Structure formats: structure tokens, C-alpha cells
């Protein structure tokens, strides 16, 4: 194993859908200086588009559907957690993972689980962030990478990127501009975070 590989932190990405941030994280992780490597992609949705993308990039993927667990959210999370541990994962990156986590999983990965949210937190936690930014006539929007804590979209902020809001913007056009910023921000913040962990 090269010294670069030895200092590369194994990361899992949790997705539910398209996986465009996941793809950006994988691509950056496969460059030598990134500080991390995506070792596993887990989806709670069997046919999430991101799984095929990850597989094509040579990353192991797993589908752990939540439906068979019914209302027992923690039981589903214990299955996910077991898969993460079995793969030797040290850091978890949520990327469009459409599950509200129980305190059990949050505590199990406290300080080692990141999320990306499509707004300039603390503005607009939750859904429909772009429509809300437009309705408020904000001059700019953006995205935030933060540590995951028990409050939804509330954890300590690790990095943000800003984009302008244009006079003729629609939520879809704004979403696309923010996504482009997300794909730059998330790999950079995750890389810095993992390099910090590796330094101890
Ligand atoms: C992104 O906008 C992210 O900020 C939010 O969910 C979306 C996921 O998109 N948490 P993708 O699956 O990465 O394309």
C-alpha cells in the first residue's frame, strides 16, 4: 500500500436518489491528494440512480431498503451501521439521503457524519429551499456542508458556497446553479475534514 493510500480515510456515502454529489465525492476521492476514498455507497432505495453510477466508478454499493423495517427506524439504521462498520468506514457523508435520522445513528457517528444542504444555513432548513429563497427575494443562495447533529440541518457548519440569484430565476434554474456549487464544495470540505482527522 502506498503512503498516500495509507493516509486516505475510508468514507461511505449514503444516498436515496440521483447521486450527483456522490459522483463528485467519488471522483475527487480517487485523486491522490484528496485525503479520503469512497469505500462504500449505501442507498435506502433499491433502484436509486446513484448506485449504477457508483458501480461504474468501481465503488462497492449496497441497497438497504427501509421498507421491510416498517416503523422501526432504528432497526434500519442498525443494519446500515453494521454495513458501514463491516466495510471499515471512518466517516459518513450524507448526499441526498432522504431519511430523518434517529438519535441512535447520530450518536453512533457523532463528529464523523457530514451532510450537504442546498441553502445558506441557518436559512431554510428542510425542503423547498430554492423556492423559499426566491419568495424571500434574497440576493444570493448557496449550499452548506455541516456536521450532523440531532436537530435536522442544525449541526456545526464546516463550509458554505454562495451563488447569485438572478432576476428571472426559477427554483429549477437556481437549484442547478446551487448543485454546481455543491459539487465543488462537498469534496473540498470532506477532504479537509478527513485530512484533519488523519493528522489527529
Ligand atoms: C442536494 O441538493 C443536496 O444538497 C440535498 O439533496 C440533493 C441531492 O442531490 N441534500 P444529488 O442526489 O446529490 O444529485
Give the residue-averaged pLDDT of 88-100: 97
Per-residue pLDDT for 128 more than 60? yes
4 pLDDT more than 90: no
Span 132-154, mean pLDDT?
97
- What average pLDDT score do residues 8-14 get? 97
Closest C-alpha to ligand 1, atom 5: 96
In the set 76, 117, 130, 183, the catalytic residue is: 117
96 CA to centre of ligand 1 in angstroms: 4
More confident residue, 160 or 2: 160
152 falls in which pLDDT band (50, 70, 90)? very high
Q: Give yes or no for residue 126 having a pLDDT over 90.
A: yes
pLDDT confidence of 199, banded at 50, 70, 90? confident
Q: Please indicate whether residue 130 is annotated as part of the active site.
A: no
Residue 1 confidence (pLDDT): 42
Q: What is the pLDDT confidence band of residue 52, given thresholds at 50, 70 and 90?
A: very high
Q: Give the pLDDT score at 85.
A: 98
Residue nearest to atom 9 of ligand 1 (CA): 96
Which residue's alpha carbon is nearest to atom 10 within ligand 1? 96
Helix (H, G, I), strand (E, B) or coil at 160: strand
Query: Does pLDDT of 33 surpass 70?
Result: yes
Taking the chain, what is the end-to-end CA distance rounded to the nearest angstrom?
A: 21
- What pTM, to 2 d.p., does this model score? 0.95
Region 153-169: mean pLDDT is: 97
Would you say 99 and 80 are in contact if contact means Cβ atoms under 8 Å apart?
no
On the question of pLDDT at 6 being above 70, the answer is no
Give me the percent of the chain exceeding a pLDDT of 70: 97
Q: How confident is the model at residue 3 (pLDDT cuts 50, 70, 90)?
A: very low
Ligand 1 centroid from CA 79, angstroms: 23
Strands (E) across 101-189 are located at 113-117, 140-147, 157-164
Q: Please say whether the beta carbons of 69 and 76 come within 8 A.
A: yes
The rounded Å distance from CA 95 to ligand 1 centre is 6
Q: At 198, is the pLDDT very low, low, confident or very high (cuts 50, 70, 90)?
A: confident
What percentage of the chain reaches a pLDDT higher than 90?
Answer: 94
**Counts of helices then strands in the chain (DSSP H, E):** 7, 7
Amino acid at each position: 500500500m502506498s503512503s498516500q493510500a495509507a493516509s486516505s480515510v475510508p468514507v461511505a456515502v449514503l444516498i436515496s436518489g440521483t447521486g450527483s454529489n456522490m459522483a463528485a465525492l467519488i471522483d475527487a476521492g480517487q485523486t491522490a491528494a484528496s485525503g479520503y476514498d469512497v469505500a462504500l455507497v449505501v442507498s435506502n432505495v433499491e433502484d436509486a440512480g446513484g448506485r449504477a453510477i457508483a458501480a461504474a466508478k468501481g465503488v462497492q454499493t449496497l441497497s438497504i431498503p427501509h421498507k421491510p423495517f416498517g416503523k422501526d427506524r432504528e432497526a434500519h439504521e442498525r443494519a446500515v451501521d453494521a454495513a458501514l462498520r463491516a466495510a471499515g468506514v471512518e466517516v459518513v457523508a450524507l448526499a441526498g439521503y432522504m431519511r430523518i435520522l434517529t438519535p441512535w445513528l447520530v450518536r453512533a457517528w457523532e463528529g464523523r457524519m457530514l451532510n450537504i444542504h442546498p441553502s445558506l444555513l441557518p436559512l431554510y432548513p428542510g425542503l423547498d429551499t430554492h423556492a423559499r429563497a426566491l419568495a424571500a427575494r434574497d440576493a444570493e443562495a448557496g449550499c452548506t456542508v455541516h456536521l450532523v447533529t440531532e436537530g435536522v440541518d442544525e449541526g456545526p457548519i464546516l463550509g458554505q458556497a454562495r451563488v447569485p440569484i438572478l432576476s428571472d430565476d426559477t427554483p429549477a434554474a437556481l437549484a442547478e446553479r446551487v448543485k454546481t456549487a455543491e459539487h465543488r464544495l462537498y469534496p473540498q470540505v470532506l477532504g479537509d475534514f478527513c485530512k484533519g482527522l488523519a493528522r489527529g
